[in-house]
Amino acid sequence: MHVVLRRFMVAAGLALGAVSPLPAQTVTASFDDLSALPAVDASTGLFFANGDSLLYQGVTWDTRFKVVGDAYRVDPVTPGPLYGIPHSGHYFVTSEFDDPLNDGLRITTNHLLTGAWFGRNAYYGFGAGADQVTIHALGGDQVLASVVFDLPDTDPGHPAPLQFVDTGGFASLTGITGYRIDRRALGDQNGHWVADDFSFVLASPVPEPLPALMWLGALALLAGHLRRRRG
């Protein structure tokens, strides 16, 4: 292949490479790497567990998120059942306040939430908590799309192992500014749920194409070579 043609093809390849999308970056909020975690048999607000900040993994979390250790019990004396089971590590989150203030927790971010693990908690060995969660993708205050997930009671009287809630369908949306978690409460307790390992794909700017002048320069180089050959 002639050296000029080869140079042109290299320039074209660089231009195409410049507009190719970069590999997606992912991050998981596991809550086990927070800087001021409580003891495994205790709980505290995410704000305090994160060193007095609600910004964690590039996401701003609602003040009502509570971080809970895997040995925590509402009734430690009897003792009662464990409050919840993490999906990984030793910590998970739940909603902090009493019903109805623990509904509609928000996550503020433009990152794509691809999924999280949710399950039922336990109080004193009988039902209550929440049996369903709904995750809404938000554009401002507008609901763009929703995923509804029933929380199975796989071990009555005890917390349930967490199940994966797939929100990958949100990838088709544009203008996401955050998410809201609603729940359906049971009984006369506080309608809590347990969650862990929120997975996000980081939002990134669209790569800019190679400047048009570089394309024109490559084309001019090829055209000049062809003219010289004809002459």
Specify whether the CB–CB gap between 70 and 83 falls below 8 A. Answer: no
Would you write out the chain's pLDDT as a tens digit for each of its 231 residues? Answer: 555 445 545 554 544 444 455 568 999 999 999 999 999 999 999 999 999 999 999 999 999 999 999 999 999 999 999 999 999 999 999 998 777 788 999 999 999 999 999 999 999 987 778 999 999 999 999 999 999 999 999 999 999 999 999 999 999 999 999 999 999 998 766 789 999 999 999 986 545 454 544 545 555 555 555 566 565
Nearest-angstrom CA–CA distance, 67 and 91:
7
Q: First vs last Cα of the chain: how many Å apart? A: 20
Nearest-angstrom CA–CA distance, 149 and 147:
7
The identity of residue 207, as a single letter, is: P
Burial tier of 78 (Cβ tally within 10 Å: 0-12, 13-18, 19+): exposed
Domain-wise residue ranges, the chain: 1-22+214-231, 24-203
CA-nearest of 39, 48, 45 to 65 is 45
H or E segment to which residue 44 belongs: strand 43-45
The structure tokens 């701003």 sit at: 60
R_g (Cα) of the chain, nearest Å: 26
At a CB cut-off of 8 Å and minimum separation 6, what does 117 contact?
A: 87, 162, 163, 164, 165, 195, 196, 197
> What's the DSSP call for residue 54?
S
Nearest-angstrom CA–CA distance, 40 and 217:
64
Burial tier of 135 (Cβ tally within 10 Å: 0-12, 13-18, 19+): buried
Q: Beta-carbon neighbour count of residue 54 at 10 Å?
A: 15
User: What is the structure's pLDDT at 18?
Assistant: 47
Q: Which CATH architecture has domain 24-203?
A: Sandwich (2.60)
User: What is the structure's pLDDT at 217?
Assistant: 55
pTM confidence score: 0.80
